Amino acid sequence: MFSIDNFIRPHLKSLKPYSSARDEFEGEASVYLDANENNLGSLAGGENYNRYPDPYQKTIKEKLAVLKGVKPEQIFIGNGSDEAIDLLVRLVCEPGRDEVLLLPPTYGMYEVSANIHNIGLQRVPLDERFQPVFEKIAEKQTDRTKILFLCSPNNPTGNILEPATVEKLITSFNGLVVVDEAYIDFTDTPSWSTRLEEFPNLVVLQTLSKAWGMAGLRLGMAFASPEIISFLNKIKPPYNINAVTQELVSAALDKTAQLTDMLQVIIAERTRLVEAFATLPLLEKVYPSDANFVLVQVPNANELYGYLLERGVVVRNRSTQPGCANCLRITIGTPTENDHLLESLQAYAAHENLA
């Protein structure tokens, strides 16, 4: 039976976290003289911006718990999902000894965080369908392999990882299995956060940057057992989510009807683009997508990338990623932006006699 206590770095088990003024007093008072704040106010304006924010984001967690069907104590709030990734590596991996397991092509911050902390890397490429190969992953795990990172829907390929394989990996992997669901809102596939009670080694990452349209506010979420969440809270910076972000996010979480409307537009535009791409010979392959982007393969990605750039269209060249030779990742834009993209692709095809 998995126990997080067996994986926490020993010196962190006894770590006494920083105790802020807001940790030591909860409630309401008429005079606050405990946190060395400027009680005259703030040059930034806004209500209470001169006060430190809630270090545990209780209001946001209560709303997220209802939306996601989890308990508040199963939620960690980070400065983007990247903070949660970094803290998870820091929590269970000993520098110079332990390692994490990646399935390329995948999100690049897993590797960056491992490199920052001097953690080893094992890689098992996804197969030609961009799906994990269970047997090869099992062969790579050792007693030093502490985290398996899965991205579903995967970035940069856009596809959901097959649930049966993911479940098999979670149940067999002797360590933390982190399922990054940054793009989960663009698919009907259920979130793995609904199964936290079954898998004590499971951590699910989500974000408000994509479907919710709040990339600039930098708020990510980790869902896991209360034991794992308590350790993440122990090692995080005291006030990791600023007051403005908490205020705006709290208001946005009350607007789920608007989220539904946005998702309908994005998914409809994704369908329109995929259908249009299928008629363009210059796009040699259009990969299926469960995200808000589409990966396409072209004869010369560098050339097409430069041509689009000249026409004011910026896409992402993913050609350097394993299995993604001559591939461009194209985000689903507004209907007008997508029209401009299609016009540019058609112009390129005509110029290259590929129409």
Read off the pLDDT of residues 74-130 as tens digits, 9 standing for 90 and up.
Answer: 999 999 999 999 999 999 999 999 999 999 999 999 999 999 999 999 999 999 999
Assess contact for 68 and 88: CB atoms under 8 A: no
Q: What is the model's pLDDT at position 221?
A: 98
pLDDT digit string, tens, across residues 21-38: 888 888 889 999 999 999
pLDDT digit string, tens, across residues 242-271: 999 999 999 999 999 999 999 999 999 999
Pairwise CA distance, residues 155 & 152, whole Å: 8
Environment class of 91 (CB within 10 Å of its CB; exposed 0-12, middle 13-18, buried 19+): buried
Q: Residue 152 pairs with which residues in a beta bridge?
A: none
Residue 141 CA to its chain's centroid (Å) = 24
CA 317 vs CA 81, 112, 274, 298, 325: distances in Å: 23, 19, 18, 11, 10
pLDDT digit string, tens, across residues 39-60: 999 998 888 899 999 999 999 9
> Which token pair is 81?
């999902």
Assess contact for 240 and 53: CB atoms under 8 A: no
Pairwise CA distance, residues 33 & 355, whole Å: 71
> Which token pair is 340?
């401009």
Domain chopping of the chain, boundaries: 4-254, 257-351
Beta-carbon contacts of residue 255 (< 8 Å; ≥ 6 apart): none
CATH 3.90.1150.10 fits domain 257-351:
yes
Is this prediction's pTM over 0.85?
A: yes
Write out the E strands in 9-107. Answer: 75-78, 99-102
Pairwise CA distance, residues 46 & 90, whole Å: 35
CATH 3.40.190.10 fits domain 4-254:
no
